[in-house]
């Protein structure tokens, strides 16, 4: 990580973290309330939003997830982007 990152990088990463936190909380709730249609609808909406945000992040800053959930550009570009835990 040689160059400073723009504020938009941090804003997008924070938004991803917030949406994923909501997904964790909804998952825990749905484990005990599996018939709650509204919560399931919210879960699906946040899951879609999370996927969209991660796709946007990867398009702008590089791979975010490992084990086949994120594609690599050519040449292999996993070492180009700052890792989220490095910022």
pLDDT computed for residue 47 by the predictor: 95
pLDDT computed for residue 61 by the predictor: 85
- 1-32 pLDDT, tens digit per residue, is 467 889 999 999 999 999 999 999 999 999 99
Q: Which residues contact 42 (CB under 8 A, 6 or more apart)?
A: 22, 26
- 19-76 pLDDT, tens digit per residue, is 999 999 999 999 999 999 999 999 999 999 999 999 999 888 888 876 656 665 666 6
pLDDT computed for residue 78 by the predictor: 61
Distance CA 87, CA 85 (A): 6
Cβ 5 vs Cβ 82: under 8 Å: yes
Distance CA 61, CA 67 (A): 18
């Amino acid at each position: 990580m040689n160059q400073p990152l723009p504020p938009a990088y941090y804003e997008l990463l924070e938004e991803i973290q917030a949406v994923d936190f909501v997904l964790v909380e909804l998952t825990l709730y749905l484990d005990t309330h599996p018939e709650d249609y509204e919560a399931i609808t919210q879960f699906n909406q946040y899951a879609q939003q999370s996927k969209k945000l991660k796709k946007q992040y990867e398009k702008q800053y590089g791979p975010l997830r490992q084990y086949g959930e994120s594609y690599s550009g050519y040449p292999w570009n996993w070492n180009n982007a700052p890792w989220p835990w490095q910022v």
